[in-house]
Structure 1
Amino acid sequence: MDISPVTAPAASSAEAKSTAALSSDFDTFLSLLTAQIRNQDPLQPADGTEYAAQLAQFANVEQSVRTNELLAQMSAALGAGSASDVAGWIGLEVRHDGPVTVAPGRTTRLHFDIPEVADRAELVALDAAGAEVMRRPLDPDAAHLDWHGGDGKGGQLPDGIYSLQVEAGAGDQALAPRPVRSFARVDEVALTAAGPELILDGGARIAPDRLDLLRAGA
């Protein structure tokens, strides 16, 4: 059963203010888009795909703002003295957008949200230094992938821990990179100067604000 980590009463007030701000921004965006369409050269009209990509980009920004606010609320709810609360997550599974472990016999279900306007998408893996080490095509209509470290072409990443993201595009327009989320079990909680850190099965480490769901361990 999924457990919502945000219960603070103040969240509803903050969300209302955020919604009002985003609504205002969206109205401004539509006004600018309308003006752009009205003033375009009728002999060389812009491709409809370009407008769709602009709407998708705005939707990406809107979703990122909402996600960041949710994570900030979660972080505030945890507070500086929450190590004992986080320790209660040991043995639970968390859904997070942090690094993923590649190891023999290990398959991880990756979850992602590719914009409907996208006509292509790729899964990109980065090593600990942030260097790109793999890029494999994805079905732009897919919502998940069972991944064992393969590049989709017969190649295999070495055992290790990798950061993942989805890069998509619509026509000639590149869309903003999308996060990749996956479930992992919390094995330990480390206390660091920056606050508690979750150590997942497989060795990946994440801050509590990298997760958005908790569930009972399998």
Structure 2
Amino acid sequence: MSVSGVQNSANDNSAYGGVADNGGSDLNGLFLQLLVAQIQNQDPLNPTDGTEYVSQLAQMSQVQSMENMSSMMSQNSTLIDNLQVLSTAGLVGKSVMVQTNKIEVSDQTVEGRLTLAHAANTVTVSIKDASGKETSLELGAQEAGQVNFSIDPQELGLAPGNYTLSVVTDTGEKSVPLEISGTVNNVRIPLEGGAALLNIPGLGEVPYYQISQFGGNADSNKAA
């Protein structure tokens, strides 16, 4: 939009109506004030072409549409966050399975599940503590698919602490998916924002998006 002859009006605080620091909802009023000032101060001997006003109005309409879309997206994001909080709150006391290779050992048995892409004659779950000491849980020969296992700290002589799991097979299969089951004790929403955190015995706090199964546990999936 041409501002020739309207600089004084544009610099006048009353022309802006005190909206310099306001949101996009005031853009329309500011635009109309500037447009009126432009018309009032145009050269009578060389008036502005009417099509230019139409073009300016069209551009303003596009700006308003973008502002409205941005506002709607922000509202939708807030709604999604609120729905996530409500859904995670409903998980308290429920059984879930979490895809992870880290566990917190206490005196309770940890139930887990791994998924093999190929059948193997020997399958071993490696349990490594923070110092690097490794304990092996032998699962023997297994068919391809889901394989359930239990980690009994007393039986394996595991001291309380944090451990990292990995799977070794005689087929050399890499990156075997691991899941650990547990019951959600509570849900915490980080004050700094981000995904909701679920407190699960044997796992500690894990992000909501690591859940791989709602309901059931590894023990209930064992074949009879």
Q: TM-score, normalised by structure 1?
A: 0.51
**Counterpart mapping for 1:151-166 below 5 A:** 155-166=156-167
Task: Call closer, same or farther: CA 1:84–1:158 in 2, change over 3 Å.
Answer: same
Q: State yes or no: 1:101 paired with 2:104.
A: yes
2:178 is matched with 180
Task: Call closer, same or farther: CA 1:161–1:194 in 2, change over 3 Å.
Answer: same
Q: Is the 8 A contact 2:123 2:140 kept in 1?
A: yes
User: How much has 1:110 moved relative to structure 2?
Assistant: 2.0
The letter of the residue matching 1:156 is G
**Counterpart mapping for 1:7-18 below 5 A:** none
User: How much has 1:198 moved relative to structure 2?
Assistant: 0.5
Report the number of matched residues: 134
Q: Is the 8 A contact 2:198 2:207 kept in 1?
A: yes
The percent of aligned pairs where both chains have the same amino acid is: 16
Structure 1 unaligned residues grouped into runs of 5+: 1-75
User: How much has 1:125 moved relative to structure 2?
Assistant: 2.1
Q: State yes or no: 1:83 paired with 2:85.
A: yes
Distance 1:166 1:132 in 2: 16
Secondary structure of 1:86 counterpart: helix
Q: State yes or no: 1:147 paired with 2:141.
A: no
Q: Is the 8 A contact 1:167 1:177 kept in 2?
A: no
Task: Call closer, same or farther: CA 1:127–1:84 in 2, change over 3 Å.
Answer: farther
1:212 is matched with 212
Structure 2 unaligned residues grouped into runs of 5+: 1-76
2:199 is matched with 199
The letter of the residue matching 2:206 is I
1:134 is matched with 135
Higher relative contact order, structure no. (Cα contacts within 8 Å, ≥ 6 residues apart): 1
Larger Rg: 2
Q: TM-score, normalised by structure 2?
A: 0.50
The letter of the residue matching 2:104 is T
User: How much has 1:182 moved relative to structure 2?
Assistant: 2.5
Distance 2:88 2:119 in 1: 39
User: How much has 1:206 moved relative to structure 2?
Assistant: 1.1
Task: Call closer, same or farther: CA 1:128–1:79 in 2, change over 3 Å.
Answer: farther
The letter of the residue matching 2:188 is A
Secondary structure of 1:181 counterpart: strand
Distance 1:141 1:168 in 2: 10
The letter of the residue matching 1:201 is P
Task: Call closer, same or farther: CA 1:182–1:202 in 2, change over 3 Å.
Answer: closer
2:16 is matched with none
Task: Call closer, same or farther: CA 1:114–1:196 in 2, change over 3 Å.
Answer: same
User: How much has 1:93 moved relative to structure 2?
Assistant: 0.7
Q: Is the 8 A contact 2:110 2:202 kept in 1?
A: no
Task: Call closer, same or farther: CA 1:109–1:126 in 2, change over 3 Å.
Answer: same
Distance 1:127 1:92 in 2: 28
